[in-house]
Amino acid sequence: MLVRFFLMLRAAGVPVSLTEFLALLEALKARVGTLSVDDFYVLGRTVLVKDERHYDRYDRVFGQHFKGLEQAFAALGEASVPEEWLRRMAELTLSAEERAKVEALGGFDQLMEALKERLREQQGRHEGGSKWIGTAGRSPFGAYGYNPEGVRIGQDGSRNRSAVKVWDRREFRNLDDSLELGTRNIKLALRRLRRFAREGAADELDLGGTIDATARNAGWLDLRLVPERHNAIKVLLFLDVGGSMDDHVRVCEELFTAARTEFKHLEYYYFHNFVYETVWKDNRRRHAERIPTHEVIRTYGPDYRLVFVGDATMGPYEIVQPGGSIEHWNDEAGAAWLGRLQRAYPKHVWLNPEPEDRWDYVPSIGVARQLLEGRMYPLTLAGIDRATRALNAR
Amino acid sequence: MSSNRFTGTARYVATDDLKMAVNAAVTLSRPLLIKGEPGTGKTQLAEEIAASLGRPLHEWHIKSTTKAQQGLYEYDAVSRLRDSQLGEARVRDIGNYIVKGRLWEAFTSDVQPVLLIDEIDKADIEFPNDLLRELDRMEFYVYETRELVKARHRPIIVITSNNEKELPDAFLRRCFFHYIRFPEAETMTAIIDVHFPGLKRELLKEALDAFYRLRDVPGLKKKPSTSELLDWIKLLLAEDIPPEALRAVDGKTAIPPLYGALLKNEQDVHLFEQLVFMNRRAAR
């Protein structure tokens, strides 16, 4: 029984290994918990799952595998009275009218039966893949709005410990971030860009150097100090704001937060749609305080790595035509400015929050990619990874 | 074995699943990795386990510069060099210059100790990997003195992490894991009861309402946590704020007094004030 559970966990993408499985058996043998399904649930989670992001997957597998088995557990331990409880909850939550309606439908028991029946059908239809779908709530049962599991979720609390189905509540749902890109993951992806160098004040004892110098000094102590190691990578971030980028604010914010904490030398500027002769640092005063792009190029040396973040989704003329900008009259085309920046910063990439498979349908992305000679990457973890490799190359 | 059961203490409210995790780790003597929002009592857990089981506590706080070796021992080559210049006799024995680390101290403890490795994610990525064998076999080798240090009693190891770095799989495989969830209102009431016994029901209810309302504000960079709530209540008591002052007349239009204890980020304060302002205007 447990072997199947173990295999199901693996199939669901929870990275459990044999060591952990054996540890679980060991824990069961040592009688760490009592013989109840709740204790087993918690114990299994403690031993098998090592990341809160996987809690939800564990909950799902547990629910699937032990569906109906809680009765068996209950027989081992104290007896449970879920029906009773359901009734009480219905009494608590239903209004007088609704209760009358329930009566009209043939009483509570029949209603629950019908509801279960309905749910079974719905699950059959909707359940695509491994996810439970809560659409069962769209039933004619008005105020219930839940599936039987959902109703039973309500059994929470200290009243009847043995029947609580914590896993059904799936409280860790939003911790599962296999699709989403969290700042932590971005930080890790950006970490590839680290390059340590010793710079600044010498305040760390150089043991090897000291011994060497002392030996040369005929045994008289000669202390040597070196500066501490720092991440010496310098990053210049150009962020597209406004317009079509509004859809991507969240992911850009995350990237920005991650980059801010990861790099000591990080400079950032904003632009709208494409880079022209000016950029700005403060979006609230973007019209008042503009900084010439030339000045940026003069200020930061070619050892900076340049990262554009933008969806590059606009009219192609905004890139290739002088005066193409939608905000102001630009004497030179955006392409010329991009070229200047590219020459000033040989190590550059463009991160695009639009999904990669849509790039081919947007002409301006095609133009930008051509100008960038393929150095455009999607703003996903894998994309950032590829981008950091490109920035490190050469 | 019954003496080895952790059941929470008078000062610390542990949920059932946390107790189970601790007991599993203690029984099978595996390290227990604890994660959770900042301020949910991760570090305190180790102290409470030690207090509840009556064991000595060894704490090892990790910083970004901490190396795994420092937890085992350090060879103080510089003092030995200096002593040799002064011609001291103790120079002969290299053992005089081996400085014991936290792990060594815990390993040689007479009774089974509790060892807290705090904020392991602050260290370098390689740090957990360097401790694999030590945590697994509970032994290490001192090269300078050719001596094998073995744990007399496998310590109860509690490791906390704030999720700043991903921990390596090989390391995770050796640990048990528990994620401390943010307590719901019921547990929170129990926690506050423990810290402020005899707090007026009314004030407590209003404070909790205001607190959870604040936590529900979308887009906060740092949501207030348990420890901040406790600080805030302490302040409320010190300032003798009446419960009425906390009551929001129509839900969202009042700024709770002394909210500086709850919001620690100027952007959050700004966001919150703006929201309240907007709500007020809408209410008019």
Residue of chain B nearest A32, judged by CA positions? B24
pTM of the model: 0.59
Confidence (pLDDT) at A198: 64
Nearest to A264 by CA among A294, A240, A229: A229
**In this predicted model, what pLDDT tens digit does every residue of A53-69 receive, in sequence order?**
788 888 888 888 877 66
Least Cα separation, residue B44 to chain A (angstroms): 19
Q: What is the 3-state secondary structure (H, E, C) of chain A?
A: CHHHHHHHHHHCCCCCCHHHHHHHHHHHHCCCCCCCHHHHHHHHHHHHCCCHHHHHHHHHHHHHHCCCCHHHHHHHCCCCCHHHHHHHHHHHHCCHHHHHHHHHCCHHHHHHHHHHHHHHHHHHHHCCCCCCCHHHHCCCCHHHCCCHHHHHHCCCCCCCHHHCCHHHHCCCHHHCCCCCCCHHHHHHHHHHHCCEEEEEEEEEECHHHHHHHHHHCCCCCCCCEEEEEEECCEEEEEEECCHHHHHHHHHHHHHHHHHHHHCCEEEEEEEECECCCEEECCHHHCCCCEEEHHHHHHHCCCCEEEEEECCCCCCCHHHHCCCCCCCCCCCCCHHHHHHHHHHHCCCEEEEECCCHHHHHHCHHHHHHHHHHCCCEEECCHHHHHHHHHHHHCC
A15 has a chain B CB within 8 A of its CB? yes
Confidence (pLDDT) at A321: 84
What is each CA distance from B255 to A109, A357, B245, B249, in whole angstroms? 48, 47, 10, 11
CB contact under 8 A, B176 and A46: yes
Confidence (pLDDT) at A133: 36
**In this predicted model, what pLDDT tens digit does every residue of B61-70 receive, in sequence order?**
998 888 888 8
Amino acid at A367: V
Amino acid at B30: R
A51 has a chain B CB within 8 A of its CB? yes
**In this predicted model, what pLDDT tens digit does every residue of A262-320 receive, in sequence order?**
777 888 888 888 888 888 887 776 777 788 898 888 888 888 889 998 888 888 888 88
Nearest to B66 by CA among B122, B106, B105, B115: B122
Confidence (pLDDT) at A161: 34
If pLDDT is split at 50, 70 and 90, which confidence band does A101 have?
low
Residue of chain B nearest A54, judged by CA positions? B179
β partners of residue B159: B33, B117
Confidence (pLDDT) at B34: 92
Best interface-test mutation with B: which of A24, A32, A284 has the largest number of B CBs within 10 A?
Answer: A32
Residue scoring higher pLDDT (A105 or A147)? A105
pLDDT at B169 over 90: no
How many of the other CB atoms lie within 10 Å of CB of B131? 24
pLDDT at A251 over 80: no
β partners of residue B59: B116
What is each CA distance from A224 to A4, A35, A230, in whole angstroms? 61, 64, 19
Best interface-test mutation with B: which of A35, A46, A178 has the largest number of B CBs within 10 A?
Answer: A46
Least confident of A25-34, A114-123, A251-260: A114-123
Please give the structure tokens belonging to residue A376: 């455009």
What distance in Å separates the CA atoms of residue B217 and residue B194, rounded to the nearest whole number?
27
DSSP readout, B117-150? EE-GGGS-TTHHHHTHHHHHHSEEEETTTTEEEE
CB contact under 8 A, B85 and A221: yes
Confidence (pLDDT) at A122: 45
Q: Which residues contact A381 (CB under 8 A, 6 or more apart)?
A: A181, A185, A186, A189
What distance in Å separates the CA atoms of residue A3 and residue B47, rounded to the nearest whole number?
37
What distance in Å separates the CA atoms of residue B204 and residue B197, rounded to the nearest whole number?
11
Per DSSP bridges, beta strands A265-271 and B73-75 are unpaired
User: Would you call B177 helix, strand, or coil by DSSP?
Assistant: strand
Over residues A155-183, mean pLDDT: 45
Amino acid at A236: L
Residue of chain A nearest B23, judged by CA positions? A32
Least Cα separation, residue A111 to chain B (angstroms): 32
Nearest to A245 by CA among A253, A233, A235: A253
Sheet holding B114-118, edge to edge: B57-61, B114-118, B156-161, B32-36, B176-180
Over residues A213-220, mean pLDDT: 79
Over residues B18-24, mean pLDDT: 88
What distance in Å separates the CA atoms of residue A29 and residue A120, rounded to the nearest whole number?
37
User: Would you call B51 helix, strand, or coil by DSSP?
Assistant: helix
A13 has a chain B CB within 8 A of its CB? no
User: Would you call B84 helix, strand, or coil by DSSP?
Assistant: helix
Calculate the CA dihedral of residues A89, A95, A101, A102 and round it to 10 degrees.
Answer: 10
Cα A186 from chain centre: 9
Q: Which residues of B touch A (CB under 8 A)?
A: 16-17, 20-21, 23-25, 27-28, 30, 33, 35, 77-78, 81-82, 85, 125, 163-166, 169, 172-179, 181, 186
**In this predicted model, what pLDDT tens digit does every residue of B224-247 receive, in sequence order?**
888 888 888 888 888 877 777 776
Confidence (pLDDT) at B104: 92
Confidence (pLDDT) at B19: 87
Contact A305, A348 (CB under 8 A): yes
Please give the structure tokens belonging to residue A51: 């990341």
What distance in Å separates the CA atoms of residue A114 and residue A350, rounded to the nearest whole number?
56
Contact A347, A355 (CB under 8 A): no
A217 has a chain B CB within 8 A of its CB? no
What distance in Å separates the CA atoms of residue B33 and residue B116, rounded to the nearest whole number?
10
Residue B24: list chain A partners with CB under 8 A: 27, 32-33, 43, 46-47
Confidence (pLDDT) at A185: 61
